[in-house]
Chain A
Amino acid sequence: MLESSENYIQITGMTFARGDRLIFDNVTINIPKGKVTAIMGPSGTGKTTLLRLIGGQLKPDSGEILVAGQNIAKLSRQELFVARERMGMLFQSGALFSDLSVYENVAFPLRVHTSLPEDMIRDIVLMKLNAVGLRGARHLMPSELSGGMTRRVALARSIVLDPELMMYDEPFAGQDPIAMGMLVKLIRSLNTSLGITSVLVSHDVGESMSISDYVVLIADGRVIGQGTPKALLEQSSPLVTQFLNGLPDGPVPFHFPAEDLASDMLQGGTRV
């Protein structure tokens, strides 16, 4: 088991609703420092929302989110921007700035947050691009990159300021096996070489379980299980088993809530 004293992110009693829909209901999650934590759950359970809450782009309705000891929801706009310099986030789409070249994209955080001389910026950018294997693609524009390359450039950009915390939003979604393998290797090596605390949001069970030291499973706005991958696999909760084994029906129903099929069919008419 991991010691709870070494938590980088502590979420206590956090509730968040979007409109009438409750997305998180009194959730408590601890994310250990220096480890890779995977947050998994069925689609639509608000995993990306969780990352946005940690990054302070959304504010919880109640409860608190401590990142490196700071209550994110209480920070002013300016303080938040300062706090974010220590966070890196890899978006699902990569989110490269489409009007800047690969090189300039990676250099962007350095240019706005540091006043380093140009040759130093160049060295850092090329180093980071080299780490993701795309040093040769520095002159390309984002529109000329494949999906996997886009994500790797975005990864280089998010680690260029050497953050303490990296968040990955569905890093494996829609990637071919080779690109997926590369990303798995990159995430793992970044964590071990730089000691970055990594939070990974995914529904790819296999990859996530193989890469992470700690897993948090969420469904229906609640945490349904957390622990090391091994411990989770041994657990017998039906919800956990359903998700980890990919069973189509179970505690997470196959059907969207609807009235009984028979009565729906028998109603007749043209009402939809």
Chain B
Amino acid sequence: MFDWISQWGRSGLDAISVIGRSGIFLFRSLLGRPATGFFGLLIKQLYSVGVLSLLIIIVSGLFIGMVLGLQGYNILVDYGSEQAIGQMVALTLVRELGPVVTALLFAGRAGSALTAEIGLMKATEQLSSMEMIGVDPLRRVVAPRLVAGFISMPLLAMIFSVVGVWGGLLVGVDWLGVYDGSFWANMQQSVDFREDVLNGIIKSCVFGFVCTWIAVFQGYDSAPTSEGISIATTKTVVYSSLAVLGLDFILTAVMFGNL
């Protein structure tokens, strides 16, 4: 019984120290002079984090938009207001599904890759040897990846939303025969740039920050064994997803709710 309590306390302390470590980690990576050749490193990371995630983002965005169009039509047609389908698809995508689904896909696609890559670099002593060469791996390895993640996420989320709207248009207008004039008009009337689009982008910036931070930190903090890397990768996906969904609620409440 006593053991149990002390174990509980210890894991609580551990959790707090992990949070502390990750904060120091972020601080050390981003503050101060960037590594030499930072821009080239950033381009490389933008490629592996952003460009390589494009395909999955576009395909998922298209299908989600199409599903929204189909479901929305089936519900709205009962009320004779199927021309509101554009409004429904666009609002759902721009406000919620764009940022959230992109972040979840990002955590699975790019986040896990970041964790595994950095974890493996740690396990094969590449990070240690970089330190011994006199180069700070936080600046050289971690910082470009963090920045690439921050930049990529909002861009991916916007692409996701646009492709999704196009998918909704495809189903609603081309297949189900909604008049495309009212499709756009309804959408433009109800979607506000500041309230909806910008808030959605802010959301995806927050998600990008959190997901990349978690992914890179888990890799850096992993136990340098094959088991450690696999645990870290799992943690990345689980923690990122939970963080995204939790933060989404909070952000939505702040932005759109009347709390």
Q: Could you list which residues of chain A lie within 8 angstroms of chain B, going by C-beta atoms? A: 52, 55, 57, 77, 81-85, 87-89, 91-93, 95-98, 108-109, 111-113, 154, 157-158
Partner of A95, one of B126, B134, B136, B140: B126
With known contacts A77-B136, A112-B36, A84–B126 Cβ distance under 8 A: no
CB distance from A56 to the nearest CB of B (A): 9
CB-nearest residue of chain A to B135: A112
A154–B130 Cα distance when bound, in Å, is 12
Q: Which of B129, B130, B131, B140 has the most CB of A within 10 A?
A: B129
Q: Could you list which residues of chain B lie within 8 angstroms of chain A, going by C-beta atoms? A: 28, 35-37, 121, 124-126, 128-136, 140
Chain B residues with CB below 8 A from A158, complex form: 132-133
Nearest 5 interchain pairs by C-beta: A95-B129, A95-B125, A84-B134, A89-B132, A85-B134
Residues B134 and A81 in contact, CB atoms below 8 Å apart: yes
Residues B132 and A87 in contact, CB atoms below 8 Å apart: yes
A83–B126 Cα distance when bound, in Å, is 19
Residues A92 and B125 in contact, CB atoms below 8 Å apart: yes
Residues B125 and A113 in contact, CB atoms below 8 Å apart: no
A52–B125 Cα distance when bound, in Å, is 12
A87–B132 Cα distance when bound, in Å, is 7
Chain B residues with CB below 8 A from A77, complex form: 28, 136
Residues B124 and A93 in contact, CB atoms below 8 Å apart: yes
Chain A residues with CB below 8 A from B135, complex form: 81, 109, 112
Can you list 10 A-B contacts (CB < 8 A)?
A: A55-B131, A88-B132, A91-B128, A91-B129, A95-B126, A95-B129, A98-B124, A108-B133, A109-B135, A112-B35
A55–B124 Cα distance when bound, in Å, is 18
Residues A109 and B133 in contact, CB atoms below 8 Å apart: yes
A149–B28 Cα distance when bound, in Å, is 35
Residues B132 and A55 in contact, CB atoms below 8 Å apart: yes
Residues A91 and B125 in contact, CB atoms below 8 Å apart: yes
Chain B residues with CB below 8 A from A82, complex form: 134
Partner of B133, one of A52, A83, A84, A98: A84
With known contacts A77-B136, A81-B136, A112-B36, A98–B131 Cβ distance under 8 A: no
Chain A residues with CB below 8 A from B126, complex form: 95-98
Residues A113 and B129 in contact, CB atoms below 8 Å apart: no
Residues B128 and A95 in contact, CB atoms below 8 Å apart: yes
CB distance from A150 to the nearest CB of B (A): 10
Q: Which of B28, B126, B132 has the most CB of A within 10 A?
A: B132
CB-nearest residue of chain A to B133: A109
Chain A residues with CB below 8 A from B125, complex form: 91-93, 95
Residues B134 and A109 in contact, CB atoms below 8 Å apart: yes
Chain A residues with CB below 8 A from B130, complex form: 97
CB distance from A115 to the nearest CB of B (A): 9
A95–B120 Cα distance when bound, in Å, is 11
With known contacts A91-B125, A95-B126, A84–B132 Cβ distance under 8 A: yes
A91–B131 Cα distance when bound, in Å, is 12
CB distance from A51 to the nearest CB of B (A): 9
Other than A57-B131, A97-B130, A98-B121, give 7 A-B pairs with Cβ distance below 8 A.
A81-B135, A85-B133, A85-B134, A95-B126, A98-B126, A112-B35, A112-B133
Chain B residues with CB below 8 A from A96, complex form: 126
A96–B133 Cα distance when bound, in Å, is 12
A206–B35 Cα distance when bound, in Å, is 43
Chain B residues with CB below 8 A from A113, complex form: 134
Chain A residues with CB below 8 A from B36, complex form: 111-112
A77–B36 Cα distance when bound, in Å, is 17
CB-nearest residue of chain A to B140: A112
